[in-house]
Structure 1
Amino acid sequence: MNFDFATNYILENDSVRLEPLKESHFANLFTETLQNPEIWTFSSLPAIGEENFRNYIQFALNNREKLTEYAFVVFDKRTNEYAGSTRFYDIQLSNKTLQLGYTWYGKQFHGTGLNKHCKYLLLEFAFEKMNMERVEFRADNANERSKAAMKSIGCKVDGVLRSNMTKLDGGRRDSIILSILRDEWFDEVKANLKKKL
């Protein structure tokens, strides 16, 4: 498959639907950000407040136009609610690599299995449709929830980039790098993750 940034890809199963992020999703998602400001504790982009959140969405849409990112909105079919957002970024089609991140969900969706359903669909699409060789994940090394979630889906730790980013509070961030390789997806990660759904 030739991945096309202009195509509106929808990824779904019985529990979740991932659809391309649009400006029209602002109202559905902004409610979650108002109710759960703590979900932005480790964010690398300001997203609290109406103007910041509009800019957050526009940043994703602009990068889709630049052919570097493809953001999705997450809809939980079980509760019939928009739950959050996630995206492919740093997409390098020539190198067959991308990063998967900017993932956030409203607090009530934490621990419900939603994330594993989303990651299964995204990884399946990346490896089996886009033919990626490597999917990379990054997080603030202090973000224990994110690190545990990434390891639970089968990511392996590549290492830590020390003091590689400026945090929103002006401090410095150490970023942990994890990844899944194509062979790992087909050999074990896919089957193990599917069992957890």
Structure 2
Amino acid sequence: MTAIFDFPQNTILENESVLLRPLQESDVENLLEISINEPETWEYSLVRANGKENLENYIKIALKARENKTEFPFIVFDKKSGKYAGSTRFYDISLPFKTVQLGYTWYGKDFRGTGLNKHCKFLLLQFAFETLEMERVEFRADNNNQRSIAAMKSIGCKVEGVLRSHMPTLGSDLRRDSIVLSILKNEWFENVKENLKAKL
């Protein structure tokens, strides 16, 4: 049950390490270097952004979803290096159920394992639970994507289960199993927030 949600168009989330601002068409230039040089970034993605044409398409799809008020995509700026690092977004926003999914997250290889993801997730989760007053934030990933699953567990996500043969994979006849993880509002306030803050 997805409901439209009118995010303030200038929603910006930031701390001393990272800035997340609304993705825009001109961000093709900011993400092009990763897009051209690091095709493995989208190994498990359903929408690839490798190469300029695919990146333009990726951004176009994301902006259309924001226009339709079903998703809200961000570009991620790493303050430490002064470079754009990747992208992430809220999607499957359900106001009646007070749930949202957080995903479509990718970073260039120079930004993986640097702590950047934890800073991003802290800001996004804080916004979801404390500003949007969501009850549940859900995460999904290809069940083979061990790096992504480890990252989600490290921020405090709990594994709920695996959706078997859940969706097709890009460019093959194979279907993927999707792992489902989540954080609940009470978990955020009871321990996830403090535990995650301590890791920043």
Percent identity among equivalent residues?
Answer: 65
In 2, the alpha carbon distance for the partners of 1:5 and 1:107 equals: 30
In 1, the alpha carbon distance for the partners of 2:120 and 2:48 equals: 24
After TM superposition, give the deviation of residue 6 of structure 1 in Å: 4.6
TM-score for both structures, normalised by structure 2: 0.95
Determine if the alignment matches structure 1 residue 26 to structure 2 residue 28.
yes
User: What stretches of structure 2 of length at least 5 have no aligned partner?
Assistant: none
Residue 122 of structure 1 aligns with an amino acid whose one-letter code is L
Determine if the alignment matches structure 1 residue 185 to structure 2 residue 188.
yes
In 1, the alpha carbon distance for the partners of 2:55 and 2:43 equals: 14
In 2, the alpha carbon distance for the partners of 1:26 and 1:192 equals: 35
Determine if the alignment matches structure 1 residue 133 to structure 2 residue 162.
no
1:137-188 Cα shifts (integer Å, max 9, x gaps): 0000000000000000000001000001100122110000000000000000
Instruction: Say whether the 8 Å CA contact 1:126–1:132 is kept in structure 2.
Output: yes
Partner of 2:93: 91
- Structure 1's consecutive aligned runs of 4 or more residues displaced over 6 angstroms after TM superposition are none
Determine if the alignment matches structure 1 residue 11 to structure 2 residue 13.
yes
In 1, the alpha carbon distance for the partners of 2:7 and 2:132 equals: 11
In 2, the alpha carbon distance for the partners of 1:90 and 1:33 equals: 25
1:99-141 Cα shifts (integer Å, max 9, x gaps): 0000000000011000000000000000000000000000000
Give the length in aligned residue pairs: 195
Partner of 2:38: 36
In 2, the alpha carbon distance for the partners of 1:158 and 1:174 equals: 13
Partner of 1:164: 166
Instruction: Say whether the 8 Å CA contact 1:5–1:65 is kept in structure 2.
Output: no
TM-score for both structures, normalised by structure 1: 0.97
User: What stretches of structure 1 of length at least 5 have no aligned partner?
Assistant: none
Which residue of the other structure, out of 63, 72, 76, is the alignment partner of 1:74?
76
Which SS does the other structure have where 2:44 is aligned?
A: coil
1:43-98 Cα shifts (integer Å, max 9, x gaps): 01132222211111011100111111000000000000000000000111221111
Which SS does the other structure have where 2:177 is aligned?
A: strand
In 1, the alpha carbon distance for the partners of 2:8 and 2:133 equals: 18
In 2, the alpha carbon distance for the partners of 1:46 and 1:130 equals: 29
